Amino acid sequence: MDARDCAAAWWEMVARNLRSIPRSCSTLGRKIAALYNSFTSKPLKEHIFPPLMNMLIFFNFFKAPFLVDLKRPELKIAHTVNFYIRVEPGVILGIWHTVPSCRGEDAKGKDRCWYEAALHDGNPIIVYLHGSAEHRAAPHRLKLVKVLSDGGFHVLSVDYRGFGDSTGKPTEEGLTADAICVYEWTKARCGTTPVCLWGHSLGTGVATNAAKVLEEKGFPVDAIILEAPFTNIWVASINYPLLKIYRKLPGFLRTLMDALRKDKIVFPNDENVKSLSSPLLIIHGEDDNTVPLEFGKKLYEIAHNAYRNKERVKMVIFPPGFQHNLLCKSPMLLKTVRDFLSKQWA
């Protein structure tokens, strides 16, 4: 007897026992019977694979680094404040705001209100949308934030719903709503200061989803930077290191695709960029084994062909040594970003 047969037998026993329950409990009985019918009417893989794929895509249960007090960012990075934004009922996002290093002395001892007002100081702003797993205090993310802060940028490091200390459960639609909310919140407080959406890995899908929605509203984002992007999550998942070993199993790829469809997880960067007009910079490491460089090149090709103004799209490939998470260590990263944004925002 396999696992499905055991589960079905258990539900049948429960259903038989329910017949002896008084009529006052009939509502409960109907609910349990409905659950039983729902379970036995689907193959076991339909119960297992969608939640499993959700876990593997977002990996938000892995909340490393551990034992970090996210309410006290000053223990991890200078001139930074923690605050929260309510996106919708039940969803509150944790965010770290790091001001440019040139304002570090001014920031000492200041509260959230001072930081919020500082968004109006004319220094460009980056809303950083991280990849899967961990949270806003992950070491490689802090390294990038420090580089950008030293380069004169405000950085808002966002933990999506279900990540870090943010409430709610992650879905593609939910993460997109989170990014839009933070972008609009920032634009409402920064005056004419430009705001850039920066997405890394999974965050590239969040960034282009949000940018497409804002474009359709008639408010294209000021700029987009995609670090280590994929074309869409289906293609990326097939090449995901943890799943590569299962690719040759009969029916695995079809089961994988069915699970992603059921969870409504697509993150279609390849389709989204066709609808955008915002300045778009794609950066990718030559030795990225998590999201191979070929995906970034393909996305650039699609975007370049779709954009009317070709000068608004650029791709920069970084030499080996930085892999998937450490472009922040490249001495050419800051200059690449500043040169591109300065030209686009001139």
Which sequence positions are flagged as catalytic? 201, 288, 324
Query: Furthest-apart CA pair in the chain: how many Å?
Result: 77
Cis peptide before 279 (omega within 30 of 0): no
State the residue for tokens 């960012």: 73
Question: Strand, coil or helix: what is 4?
Answer: helix
Helix, strand and coil percent figures for the chain, each rounded to 5: 50, 15, 35
Smallest CA-to-CA distance from 154 within 206, 105, 194 is with: 194
CB 158 within 8 A of CB 140: no
Beta-carbon contacts of 69 under 8 Å, excluding residues fewer than 6 positions away, are: 75
Token pair listed for 172: 């593609």
The span from the CA of 271 to the CA of 229, in Å, is 13
The span from the CA of 162 to the CA of 290, in Å, is 23
Question: Strand, coil or helix: what is 98?
Answer: strand
